Amino acid sequence: MTTEAHAGHAPHVHAAPSGFIRKWIFSLDHKIIGIQYYLLSLVAVFTGMFLSLLMRFHLVYPAKPLPFMGDAIMTPEQYLALLTMHGTIMVFFVLTTAPQGGFGNYFLPIQIGAADMAFPVLNMLSFWVTFVAFVVMVAAFFVEGGAPISGWTGYAPLSALGVIAGPGLGLGQDLWIISIALFCVASLMGALNFITTVIDLRAKGLTLMRMPLTVWAWFVTAILGLLAFGVLLAAGILLLLDRNAGTSFFIPGGLVVSDKMIDHKGGSPLLWQHLFWYFGHPEVYIAILPGMGVASHVLSTFARKPIYGYKAMVYAICAIGILGFCVWGHHMFMSGMSPYTAFAFSLLTMSIGVPSAIKTFNWLGTLWGGQIHFKCAMLFALGFVSLFVSGGVDGLFLAQPSVDRPLHDTYWVVAHFHLIMGVAAIFGIFAATYFWFPKMFGRYMNETLGKIHFWITFIGVYLIFMPMHYIGMAGQMRRYPDGTGIGFVGELVGVQTFITHAAFVTIAAQLLFLVNFMWSAWKGPQAEKNPWNATTLEWTVPSPPPHDNFAGHYPSVYRGPYEFSVPGQEDDHLPQDVPPDKLKK
Amino acid sequence: MPGTLTATELELTHGTGAPPPPAGAGGGEGGGAGGAGVPARAYYTGISLALAGILMFFMALVSSFIVRKADAGWQPVQLPPLLWLNTLALVASSMTLERARIHLKNRDARLFARWWGITTLLGLLFLAGQVAAWAQMRAAGVFLASNPSSSFFYLLTGAHALHLVGGVGALAYVALRGWGFAKVTQDVAADVTGIYWHFMDGLWVFLLLILYFGR
């Protein structure tokens, strides 16, 4: 260790760890942390899918007990608990975890030519706090009263009143809030890390406009997270105080619940809605933006063409991010707001369609005239574009307050957010997995199994969620455990049955993915450095990369990230780190 | 005083001697990090971002306060005058912190330690004063759940105090930790802590004015 000018700086990054705990459990290596996040979200997604299967079964056979679960029939409150936990686990522990914490953590430093994130200890803390948050969330199932029933949106006053308002609203709700609060803290720490890394740790020559679109997406997503999660944390604290300290931030006066007068006054349930959705809308963009980045990246790579309109894509990502903070009121059209306020939110909401359409047309422009290779990653990226259009367009209907009036809280809304989050964003995760698996594990996933997985899933999700538009228009209410006894809704049970059958098949097909993933990680054929002939920096290092990513030889960047099929060049792809005089002509 | 740096130790932690550059976007040539280490300016970027996140948290609380205040039945709460004395202590601590940083730049370990210590003491004085103010409120029969106005008073002052406890921890860490083998110099750590501390000071003045004019 030198003592003069360099004494203030430890040599570069943390040294490679030794010992099982330091290497695999409390690792500071962004690659290991990325895999940890990914595995956590894998557990979460199968938990969430299992909960949805229970819900789907009950919707079609409300008078039957669940198979293998004893003789008791599911109560309406238990159904509400299932949907609360399904939504919470999926939105937070899958869609906010895998794309950003999983792939973002693993590949952002490598794609910008850095050895690790700016703050590796903070990174490790972010993961473990997220892990604890998941344990606390799942614990809500096992405490007295069970899981909360107030929805992933946790609307007050239901969520604020305690056990008097229903089962699960005691300790279960408190654990839910604590879990979310921990998740907020973890996300804020992670966001800080991502943004600092992009701003300060880029390689020489890597200007902002030479960054891969994946990095842009993770960057803007992190900014959204930094600014939004603090608001949710504040809301959660206020809710905890209402529940446990006798305050009345959200509980109005004059409530009578279960024949008892509630001794609170002065609170506003609308305040919860504003706080929650001010976070909630940026949150859904946090869920989708990384998928957009991956789609751009994969489409360009497997069409052997530069992304169409790189600059426009960057501006579109930024525009979606900024506008995402201006539209939260469209979740509250039915809350009694002034029509003028509704008009303003509606206009702003529809205007997000512009950058979204720019991105969609640019994806199509990337494909046009390209030499398309239908690898699994590409199939899922194409599927992403299809599902993004489907899920986005049905949102435009909801963006009109007058149309939202009959559609609010119907299955139309369920169709919309599932198509865009529960499928498009998931397809982004699948595309990323099939694309980057060889780099992460040094082995290939099985393409045949992957293609079967794709087709069953792609057709399956359309069969599940398209009919929901129909029953939504017909008036089927969401969050109702049993509509069979209600006249016009009862007639729709045939469609619900069809949806349930499609759901069972589609979810079963995900086991194909799980088997493929697990088997290939250990037994798949060896992969080389750059199996897809891609251009970005992660494909210049071994598969899997060494501890400090570049084995001491940090790259300089000489060109943009999507130089495919450049005229006059022998290779159909130009890696970012090869100097111009070293290119084959 | 434990943790006082000797002149030689200060020399060792000195680094290049030039003040670290402020956080920049590095648009032209890329980050220029060269891939190997984490540049000192990353810590400035990091603390600014952390403060952005913390600001959003407090703004959510302040917006809730403003929204709630507009409703009927708002009973204003009488702010204990002690709060103004506490504010004085906190503002003074920002000034002593700056003094300490100048001494650190001039490589005067003894005076740095003294003024940094005074800053820490003033911070602790502020916190003690806040606890005393809460006790005064309780003695007057005003509790967290008494009415919306009192709820927001305790909430805002409590949330700020918690963040300030973190700040006091940072002050102690900068003074007491050995910086010989750290990833950054003590200068950088003191700078970054200073940015956090001044922000908490400014935030407190803002919150107090909101509570005062909004009561």
> What distance in Å separates residue A109's CA from the closest CA in chain B?
9
- Distance in angstroms (rounded) separating the CA atoms of residues B115 and B133: 26
pLDDT confidence bin for B4, thresholds 50/70/90 = very low
- pLDDT tens-digit map of B128-161: 999 999 999 999 999 999 989 999 999 999 999 9
pLDDT confidence bin for A583, thresholds 50/70/90 = confident
Nearest residue of A to residue B58 by CA position? Answer: A234
> What distance in Å separates residue A200's CA from the closest CA in chain B?
5
Q: Do A266 and B73 touch (CB under 8 A)?
A: yes
* DSSP annotation of A283: H
- Mean per-residue pLDDT for B43-53? 98
Optimal mutation site among B151, B179, B207, interface A, most CBs of chain A within 10 A: B151
> What distance in Å separates residue B85's CA from the closest CA in chain A?
28
Q: Do A118 and B38 touch (CB under 8 A)?
A: yes
Nearest to B64 among A11, A118, A271 (CB): A271
Q: Do B46 and A235 touch (CB under 8 A)?
A: no
Q: Which residue has the tokens 């979200």?
A: A41
Whether the predicted pLDDT of B72 surpasses 80:
no
* Alpha carbon of residue A582 to chain centroid: 40
- Mean per-residue pLDDT for A366-374? 97
- According to the model, what pLDDT value does residue B13 have? 40
- According to the model, what pLDDT value does residue A301 have? 98
pLDDT confidence bin for A9, thresholds 50/70/90 = very low
Nearest to B61 among A207, A234, A268 (CB): A234
Q: Do B31 and A13 touch (CB under 8 A)?
A: no
- Give this prediction's pTM: 0.93
> What distance in Å separates residue B171's CA from the closest CA in chain A?
19
Collect all residues of chain A within an 8 Å Cβ-Cβ radius of residue B28. Answer: 207
Dump strand ranges (E) for chain B.
none
How many inter-chain contacts (A to B, CB under 8 Å) are there?
179
> What distance in Å separates residue A40's CA from the closest CA in chain B?
25
In contact, A232 and A180? CB cutoff 8 Å: yes
Q: Do A192 and B49 touch (CB under 8 A)?
A: yes
Nearest to A233 among B32, B38, B57 (CB): B57
CATH architecture of B40-213: Up-down Bundle (1.20)
- Mean per-residue pLDDT for A243-270? 93
- The secondary structure of A327-360 as a DSSP string is -GGGG-GGG---HHHHHHHHHHHHHTHHHHHHHH
- The secondary structure of B40-83 as a DSSP string is THHHHHHHHHHHHHHHHHHHHHHHHHHHHHTSTT----PPPTHH
> Encoding tokens for residue A238?
């206020």
Report the percent of chain B where pLDDT is more than 70: 83
- According to the model, what pLDDT value does residue A13 have? 55
Whether the predicted pLDDT of A523 surpasses 80:
yes
- pLDDT tens-digit map of A72-103: 899 999 999 999 999 999 999 999 999 999 99
Q: In chain B, where are the structural domains located?
A: 40-213
In contact, B174 and B120? CB cutoff 8 Å: no
> Encoding tokens for residue B215?
């009561």
Collect all residues of chain A within an 8 Å Cβ-Cβ radius of residue B147. Answer: 266
Whether the predicted pLDDT of B40 surpasses 70:
yes
Around Cβ A447, how many Cβ atoms within 10 Å?
15
- pLDDT tens-digit map of A415-449: 999 999 989 999 999 999 999 999 999 999 999 99
Optimal mutation site among B48, B183, B186, B203, interface A, most CBs of chain A within 10 A: B183
* DSSP annotation of A444: P
Q: What is the per-residue burial (b if ≥16 Cβ within 10 Å, else e) of A377-409? A: bbbbbbbbbebbbbbbebbebbbbbeebeebbe
- According to the model, what pLDDT value does residue A91 have? 98
Q: Do B155 and A238 touch (CB under 8 A)?
A: yes
- pLDDT tens-digit map of B195-214: 999 999 999 999 999 999 98
Whether the predicted pLDDT of B87 surpasses 60:
yes
In contact, B150 and B65? CB cutoff 8 Å: no
pLDDT confidence bin for A220, thresholds 50/70/90 = very high
Q: Do B46 and A205 touch (CB under 8 A)?
A: no
- Mean per-residue pLDDT for A223-236? 98
Whether the predicted pLDDT of B2 surpasses 90:
no
Optimal mutation site among B13, B45, B68, interface A, most CBs of chain A within 10 A: B45
Q: Do A241 and B151 touch (CB under 8 A)?
A: yes
- According to the model, what pLDDT value does residue A585 have? 67
Collect all residues of chain B within an 8 Å Cβ-Cβ radius of residue A13. Answer: 36-38
Of A13-17, A191-195, A450-454, A544-548, the poorest mean pLDDT is in A13-17
Q: Do B35 and A119 touch (CB under 8 A)?
A: no
- Mean per-residue pLDDT for B68-79? 86
- According to the model, what pLDDT value does residue A446 have? 98
> What distance in Å separates residue B158's CA from the closest CA in chain A?
12
* Closest by CA position to A460, among listed A522, A406, A508: A508
* Closest by CA position to A162, among listed A246, A81, A95: A246
Nearest to B31 among A193, A202, A265 (CB): A202
Optimal mutation site among B57, B66, B188, interface A, most CBs of chain A within 10 A: B57
Q: Do B151 and A199 touch (CB under 8 A)?
A: no
- Mean per-residue pLDDT for B181-194? 93
Q: Do B35 and A10 touch (CB under 8 A)?
A: no
Q: Do B60 and A115 touch (CB under 8 A)?
A: no
CATH topology for A25-253+265-582? Cytochrome C Oxidase; Chain A (1.20.210)
Whole-Å CA distances, A363 to A214, A258, A511? 14, 54, 30
In contact, B190 and B100? CB cutoff 8 Å: yes
- pLDDT tens-digit map of A275-322: 999 999 999 999 999 999 999 999 999 999 999 999 999 999 999 999
Q: At residue A410, what are phi and psi to the nearest 5 degrees?
A: -110, 180
Nearest residue of A to residue B28 by CA position? Answer: A207
> Encoding tokens for residue A513?
């993915």
Collect all residues of chain B within an 8 Å Cβ-Cβ radius of residue A111. Answer: none
Question: For all residues of chain A together, what is the average pLDDT?
Answer: 94
- According to the model, what pLDDT value does residue A51 have? 97
Whether the predicted pLDDT of A14 surpasses 80:
no
Collect all residues of chain B within an 8 Å Cβ-Cβ radius of residue A247. Answer: 144-145, 148, 151
- pLDDT tens-digit map of A126-160: 999 999 999 999 999 999 999 999 999 999 999 99
Whether the predicted pLDDT of A377 surpasses 60:
yes
- According to the model, what pLDDT value does residue B36 have? 60
More confident residue, B76 or A459: A459
